[in-house]
Amino acid sequence: MSESLAYSYQGDNDLLSMQEASAWATKHTGRNVTVSNISYLIQYGRVRKNRGLISINDLENYYRSFDGVRENNYKLHLGDDINWTLSFSNIKESETTKHVHRLHPYKGKFIPHLVEYFIGSHTDNFKNEIYFHQGDLILDPFAGSGTTLVQANECGINAVGIDVSAFNSLIANCKITQYDIEDIKKESKRISSALREFVLDSKILDFQEELLPELNRFNNEFFPVPDYKYRLRQGEVNENEYGREMEKKFEPTYLSLVKKYKVKLCQEKSNNFLEKWFFQQVRDEIDFVFEQIKKISNIKTKKIFMVILSRTMRSCRATTHSDLATLIDPITSTYYCSKHGKICKPLFTIIKWWESYCKDTIARLNSFNNLRTPTMQYCITADSRSVDIINELRKSNPALAEMVSERKINGIFSSPPYVGLIDYHEQHAYAYDLFGYKRNDDSEIGPLFKGKGKEARQSYADGISQVLINCKQFLAEDYNVFLVANDRYNLYPKIAEGAGMRIMNEYRRPVLNRSEKDKTAYSETIFHLKEV
């Protein structure tokens, strides 16, 4: 195969400008498709562009999946009883990750629109019953990153969250906390300025300034945009073979620059996550920023900067862009990136991501402030099987403790962990190492390390039942419980029976946008439970 990929465009009769393509796609799909959306399709090889014009044929082929084909495909694989309304297929990613929902990555969270659908006081042709009202109080005993708490606030509902992970609780509480935005801006400017001075003392910026032009020239020649990705999608390129070939071709250039600037790639030890997954320069910068955060006097501001630093650390691990969700092996060299379709480099400094996430966080906090309602939400760190919710709340949020004591909780909306699927502590191991939070891995229900065997499934079912039994003492008489799960082992009838509840209804929904980018047809069920 030729090293340089030449591409010859075969013209179509019907061609559109970017603006015309945006208008055409908006009319065709019945939802707003911006010029930026069209640009994304071009960048990732979904459609072709020649001299600024786009083929209608390409657009039609791409959007055909939205004309009922995707719905029919999911029903073919999952059954006709899935409810397509609950797929939220018309919702753009920018809406599913709106405002504070994207303050920090988190595996296994559900989209906010699902929460809003069941706890919001609205009706439609499918959901003809209102379960919760403004001013009510709900509980999420598996709070995770706080999606239910945030949506409860938007809907004017008070909420209590519980999570066994201290870091999960930090994320959840940071999302619903009200901040002094000017103080955050001031500290962001101070820390970023100090970090820039710290980085200037190293040779890493000089190294990058010489590496990047070399990398860009190489990628422009051997991975031309958008021609390479278009040919890739057409099956004209063997990605694995070509990617490996180009990796080897660029590697000598990279290694010569590493030697020239004496870049230290690995740390001397690799006993924990921080030592294994970060270059020495990156680790030094992380430690420097954390020391700056410790100087912040406002505790709320300090905590949100801990979340920003953690988000930055996650993006700066020595791994490929496609392996961020599930780490495989540390990367110390340039590599072919299947996500971006070119040769990419590891991260040698955190400064770009740190400054970007500081800015993004401030914008997201401001955006949520425009929607915020005068209600209370708080997440406590505890084991939901045994926690005394009122006593724990009295330590951190007395007003919410009083509300639970006086009024009781109207119901639950939660997504329990799945059997043997996710290690909820290990996914944020870098944060536990740096911040020194106590890990409660052994208290997780259905953790990855216990597997999916018969004993693990029984332990899981018992654990979820125990959570519901413990929580019932804090619930109002006519409560409603909604649990979101993929019950592939048919455990929830047993769970409901063990908790003294009955399943009133089941709503099966297709899951279209999974964080792991798995394209396999997949569904989950929302179980509606009440007292026997």
**Which one has a higher pLDDT value, 188 or 420?**
188
Write the DSSP assignment of 176-204 as a string of letters. Answer: H----HHHHHHHHHHHHHHHHHHHHTSSH
For the record, the structure tokens of 30 come out as 């019945």
* Structural domain spans, the chain: 15-66, 79-164+372-531, 181-361
pLDDT value for 319: 86
pLDDT tens column, 489-513: 999 999 999 999 999 999 999 988 6
CA distance 67 to 50: 26
CA distance 383 to 365: 29
pLDDT tens column, 265-301: 887 777 788 888 899 999 999 999 999 999 999 999 9
CA distance 110 to 88: 12
CA distance 34 to 299: 40
Dihedral (CA of 375, 380, 385, 391) sign: negative
CA distance 387 to 374: 27
- N- to C-terminal Cα distance for the chain? 68
Helix (H) or strand (E) holding 228: helix 227-233
Note the pTM of the prediction, 2 decimals: 0.85
Q: How confident is the model at residue 27 (pLDDT cuts 50, 70, 90)?
A: confident
Average pLDDT over residues 365-379: 97
**Residue reference for tokens 């209608």:** 56
CA distances from 364 to 93, 169, 370, 375 (A): 15, 19, 10, 19
Answer yes or no: is pLDDT of 69 > 80: no
436 phi/psi in degrees, rounded to 5: 75, 20
* pLDDT more than 90, % of the chain: 63
pLDDT value for 67: 55
Q: How far from chain centre, in Å, is Cα 20?
A: 33
pLDDT tens column, 328-358: 788 889 999 988 999 999 999 999 999 999 9
For the record, the structure tokens of 360 come out as 């993004």
Answer yes or no: is pLDDT of 108 > 90: no
pLDDT value for 45: 76
Answer yes or no: is pLDDT of 226 > 90: no
**Which one has a higher pLDDT value, 379 or 61?**
379
Q: What is the mean pLDDT of the chain?
A: 89
For the record, the structure tokens of 175 come out as 């999302």
Q: How confident is the model at residue 125 (pLDDT cuts 50, 70, 90)?
A: very low
CA dihedral 227, 233, 235, 239 (to 10 degrees): 80
pLDDT value for 66: 59
- Among 381, 509, 383, smallest CA distance to 445 is for 383
CA distance 486 to 422: 13
Q: Which amino acid is at 184?
A: I
CA distances from 444 to 19, 125, 155, 160, 419 (A): 51, 38, 30, 19, 11
Strands in 145-278 per DSSP E: 158-163
CA distance 82 to 73: 12
- Among 410, 372, 409, smallest CA distance to 130 is for 410
53-55 β-sheet, strand order: 15-16, 53-55, 49-50
Average pLDDT over residues 62-89: 79
Answer yes or no: is pLDDT of 525 > 90: yes
Q: How confident is the model at residue 123 (pLDDT cuts 50, 70, 90)?
A: very low
pLDDT value for 361: 98
* In contact, 229 and 45? CB cutoff 8 Å: yes
pLDDT value for 325: 63
Query: In 3-state terms, what secondary structure has residue 280?
Result: helix
pLDDT tens column, 3-15: 443 333 344 458 8
The region of weakest confidence among 115-129, 363-377, 474-488 is 115-129
Average pLDDT over residues 255-268: 88
pLDDT value for 126: 47
Burial class (CB in 10 A: 0-12, 13-18, 19+), 39: middle
Category of 14 on φ-ψ map: left (φ > 0), alpha (ψ -120 to 50) or beta: beta
CA distance 462 to 495: 7
pLDDT value for 2: 36
- Among 448, 413, 396, 404, smallest CA distance to 427 is for 448
β-pairing, 335-337 with 158-163?
unpaired
Give the fold, CATH level 3, of 79-164+372-531. Answer: Rossmann fold (3.40.50)
CA distances from 383 to 234, 386, 408 (A): 51, 6, 20
* In contact, 161 and 146? CB cutoff 8 Å: yes
Query: In 3-state terms, what secondary structure has residue 445?
Result: coil
Angle at 25 between CA 19 and CA 30, to 5 degrees: 130
For residue 238, give every residue at least 6 positions away whose Cβ sits within 8 Å of its Cβ, in sequence order, or none. 1
